[in-house]
Chains A and B, each alone.
Chain A
Amino acid sequence: GQNIDQPTEMTATEGAIVQINCTYQTSGFNGLFWYQQHAGEAPTFLSYNVLDGLEEKGRFSSFLSRSKGYSYLLLKELQMKDSASYLCAVSDSNYQLIWGAGTKLIIKP
């Protein structure tokens, strides 16, 4: 079966760095996405990785290792507005998105 695993909840301090991990087992792979979702809102796109390595976008970076079926989202210089759920999703062989359950990130002052 297809499976995406990520931690349910994480807590971090404002100004710090946090890494949210995602492991996956899917039928085929056409890229991995990270989305941010604030409560009551639709997800917004953060990053896309299809090749191994690190993609950096401002305070957010995303890493992929296809051989390990592993990705992480790194958030630096955390701000209170970063409190949200972070969803990992993998595009499978049919280009369907398989979703993780999401990681709720709580930022404390």
Chain B
Amino acid sequence: GAVVSQHPSRVICKSGTSVKIECRSLDFQATTMFWYRQFPKQSLMLMATSNEGSKATYEQGVEKDKFLINHASLTLSTLTVTSAHPEDSSFYICSARELAGDVYEQYFGPGTRLTVT
């Protein structure tokens, strides 16, 4: 099956610094990628949807100037958490969508655990 990778898997950073998370679709081209955040014991929360070559669409309540998303190619999307604060500590998961016949298949990366101290 299709594979989505994320890097890094874990990152600890100091408050006020920026962190970049990469998401790659390894064996397929993803015209659309999604970024989710998951707090402990909660479901996935969609942060933004990005289409290759265009600006990301952010969900209500997600600060686009704080969570910068770049979908530069059909296989790479990056999420940069700028000026991170402890409340940004969370599990960030990317997902890539592929059209398989008549069905959109969505595959998830392994996630990135961000801890802001």
The smallest beta-carbon distance between B30 and chain A, in angstroms, is 13
B103 touches A50 (CB 8 A): yes
| Complex alpha-carbon distance, A95 and B51, angstroms | 13
Specify the chain A residue showing the minimal Cβ separation from B92: A42
0/1 string, B19-56, CB within 8 A of A gives 1 = 00000000000000010000000111010010000000
Contacts of A102 in B (CB 8 A): 43
Specify the chain A residue showing the minimal Cβ separation from B104: A95
Contacts of A99 in B (CB 8 A): 43-44, 46
The smallest beta-carbon distance between B25 and chain A, in angstroms, is 14
Specify the chain A residue showing the minimal Cβ separation from B41: A104
A45 touches B107 (CB 8 A): yes
Q: Which of A30, A42, A44, A101 contacts B43 (CB 8 A)?
A: A101
Contacts of A41 in B (CB 8 A): 110-111
Given known contacts A87-B44, A97-B46, A42 and B104 CB-to-CB distance under 8 angstroms: no
Q: Let me know if A26 is at the binding interface, CB within 8 A.
A: no
A43 touches B97 (CB 8 A): no
Interface residues on A, range: 20 to 34
Contacts of A29 in B (CB 8 A): none
Given known contacts A31-B103, A50-B103, A95-B97, A101 and B42 CB-to-CB distance under 8 angstroms: yes
Q: Please report which residues of chain A, range 77-109, place their CB below 8 angstroms from some CB of chain B when the two chains form the complex.
A: 87, 91, 95-97, 99-102
| Complex alpha-carbon distance, A41 and B107, angstroms | 14
Q: Let me know if A70 is at the binding interface, CB within 8 A.
A: no
Q: Please report which residues of chain B, range 70-117, place their CB below 8 angstroms from some CB of chain A when the two chains form the complex.
A: 91, 93, 97, 103-104, 106-111, 113
B110 touches A100 (CB 8 A): no
Contacts of B46 in A (CB 8 A): 96-97, 99
Contacts of B108 in A (CB 8 A): 35, 42-45
Residues of A bordering B, CB below 8 Å = 30-31, 33, 35, 40-45, 48, 50, 87, 91, 95-97, 99-102
Residues of B bordering A, CB below 8 Å = 34, 42-44, 46, 49, 91, 93, 97, 103-104, 106-111, 113
